[in-house]
Amino acid sequence: MSIQRLHPGPRMSQAVIHGDTVYLAGQVAESAGDTEGQTREILATIDGILAEAGTDKSRILSATVYLTDIAEFAAMNRAWEAWVDPANPPARATVQAQLAAPRYKVEIVVVAAR
């Protein structure tokens, strides 16, 4: 089965397509916003990468959400629920973890079908 890589860099690709499954790298926000704002920015980035991979949020299979402060769970969910396709929500897990740079409050990994 063919493998296609989107935005490959020296360390990682932003997405890897294997057959009809798309694996995205963990996405973070570059803005210095709060958790809700960063989540919104990340989800818009994910929309863009999914579009490049020939798919969209209605075909996300699973998501892993890392929050640097689990007390921000409700704030993340406000942005998430405003964005997720209500007819096609993915499987999801959310846990607390510190991330690669202190300005990052959220990181989201998704696996999608296309």
What minimum distance in Å lies between the beta carbon of 22 and a copy of itself? 9
Tell whether residue 32 is a contact of a copy of itself (CB under 8 A): no
Contacting a copy of itself (CB under 8 A), which of 66, 75, 79, 105? 66
Tell whether residue 14 is a contact of a copy of itself (CB under 8 A): yes
Tell whether residue 33 is a contact of a copy of itself (CB under 8 A): no
What minimum distance in Å lies between the beta carbon of 24 and a copy of itself? 6
Q: For residues 61 and 1, what is the distance between their CA atoms, to the nearest angstrom?
A: 19
